[in-house]
Each structure stands twice: as C-alpha cells, then as structure tokens.
Structure 1
C-alpha cells in the first residue's frame, strides 16, 4: 500500500499574477506536496492587513524532511526560485505615484500544529540547507525566521517564553 502524497492549501495575495500561481503549484507538486486548494484573499481586506504574500498550509515536518532527499534536489532549487519571485516587492504601476511595497514572505504553516515558517525573498543558501533538516518539535510557538547573524532558524517568542 502506498501513502497518498501530502496535500497543501495555498492562499495567495491578490497581487500574485496567474503565471506565478501556476509556478507555485508546480513547485510544490514537484516536491511531492499536492496543492488541492488554491485561492486568493478576500477582496475587502487591504494589503496592510496581511503581512505575507502566500500562505501554504501543509504537513510541514514531512515536507521539510523530504527537501533533503537527493531525488528532489532540482525541484527544491525550483521551489527556492519561486519563493524569491513571489516575495519580491511589486513595483508601482508606471505613471502612478504609488509607493513601492515592502517584501513580504511566503509562509509555510503546519496543518497539525499551526507553527509557521517565514521564507523571505533574500534567504541565503545555508538557510534553505538547514531548513531541510530542521526539527520542528524544538519549537512551541512561531513564527520561525532565519537569523542571519546567528546562522540558524529561531522563534523569538519561544525564546522569550524561556
């Protein structure tokens, strides 16, 4: 008997173009996580209400464990590229006085615990490498972010709670 592939749900910001939506679905699918539901945020919410650009809800520990496998190396590289393109701030439309938006992360959320991992657009290679072996049971509260100065994934809220 074979296990069904993990399933994910993607919630996209309104500004994510259809082409990038398709790349995200393909990137997750390439890593063995099937996005069974892809939807956009409701229209009445403002961009300031949502600090992320894409929220992916999936069995996170299984997903992260699979990232280290040699068989998914190419798919993992494609995934990192999609994260960078997704989180890159959008430029104002030509001829408008709109402000450039801040970069917003792609967020991975564990379906079992609710723990979140923030994938920022400019993460160094070592952040992705350590993400593949990250033990989520070490954390009680998220969000997890990569601390470049310390070279590790951490939860400030866990550390504050002792």
Structure 2
C-alpha cells in the first residue's frame, strides 16, 4: 500500500472573491505548501455554522516550519497580507452576514493529519506570526489554537481545561 501524496485544501466561504482565491493559492504555493485544491461552501449555510471565512487543511507542522525559514520571508509577508484581506472582503455578497460578524471571521489552518485547528484573526501582531512559525504542534491535543495577546503566546483553552 502506498501513501497518498500530500495535498492542501482550501474551503472558501462564498464571500471570498476570485482575486483573493488566486492570491491565497499563490501565497500557500509561495510558502511551499503541497498542491492546493480549492472548494467553496454551499450557499444555504446558516448563521449558526462555523464562523470562519477560509479553512485551509494541510500538513500543518511542515508548513509552519517553512514559515520560519528566512528564504521565504517575502512569501511569509504576502501570506500575512492575504490573511488580512481575505478575512475582511471589500464588498459583501447579497445576503451576507452583517459587518460586525464578518469583521471577526478568521482564516483557520487545519492540520490534515490530526485535525488540530489554528485560528488566524486578521489583526494578529507580527509576534504572533513569529511564534506560530516556531510553534511545536505536538504540545497540543485539542484545538482550536488562538493567539492570546495578553499572555503573548498561542494556546488551546480546551487543552488547558483538560489539564
């Protein structure tokens, strides 16, 4: 039996315009992610569904390790910019969620192997990305991981609650 080739998947909310879809694919490609497959959510989602705008499923630890390499600094800066622009689309689609809800909708990176989620809010400080690039995901068992600005670290509230 052979292992399936590594691949990354992007699941985009219907509000993400095509130009941002292309930028996202280029940003992940520039950072060395495996080939990206893009899908869109269905139009009949309800407001109670998951509040992300993009869900990227990929071999996350390898991707994060690549973020720390100096050789990908420009691609890394591009990725941060795409995260900010994608999480706040310029014009809402008809029937879209109100601006207050849309402004808070992050990009979620999901580890394809473990299902662990890392939530990237659009206004993360530079140190959050720097810590993320060096983050060892094996220290977490449950997600999602969020950046705690007050403590200056990535954390899983569910892991902490479980002890």
Give me the TM-score of the superposition, normalised by structure 1. 0.89
Contact 1:89 1:100 in 2 (8 A): no
Partner in structure 1 of residue 127 of structure 2 = 126
Partner in structure 2 of residue 147 of structure 1 = 148
Moved over 3 A (4+): 89-93
Aligned pair 1:99/2:95, yes or no?
no
Partner in structure 2 of residue 57 of structure 1 = 57
Q: CA offset at residue 47 of structure 1?
A: 4.4
SS of residue paired to 1:118: strand
Separation (CA, whole Å) in 2 of partners of 1:116 and 1:13:
17
Structure 2 segments unaligned to the other structure (5+ residues): none
Separation (CA, whole Å) in 1 of partners of 2:73 and 2:136:
20
Aligned pair 1:156/2:157, yes or no?
yes
Structure 1 segments unaligned to the other structure (5+ residues): none
Q: CA offset at residue 34 of structure 1?
A: 3.4
Contact 1:30 1:75 in 2 (8 A): yes
Partner in structure 1 of residue 75 of structure 2 = 75
Q: CA RMSD in A?
A: 2.1
Partner in structure 2 of residue 136 of structure 1 = 137
Partner in structure 1 of residue 33 of structure 2 = 33
Contact 1:6 1:33 in 2 (8 A): no
Contact 2:25 2:36 in 1 (8 A): no
Q: CA offset at residue 89 of structure 1?
A: 6.0
Separation (CA, whole Å) in 1 of partners of 2:124 and 2:35:
24
Contact 1:91 1:100 in 2 (8 A): no
Give me the TM-score of the superposition, normalised by structure 2. 0.88
- Pick closer, same or farther for the CA change 1:51–1:156 going to 2, 3 Å: same
Contact 2:52 2:108 in 1 (8 A): yes
Separation (CA, whole Å) in 2 of partners of 1:112 and 1:86:
25
- Pick closer, same or farther for the CA change 1:35–1:15 going to 2, 3 Å: farther
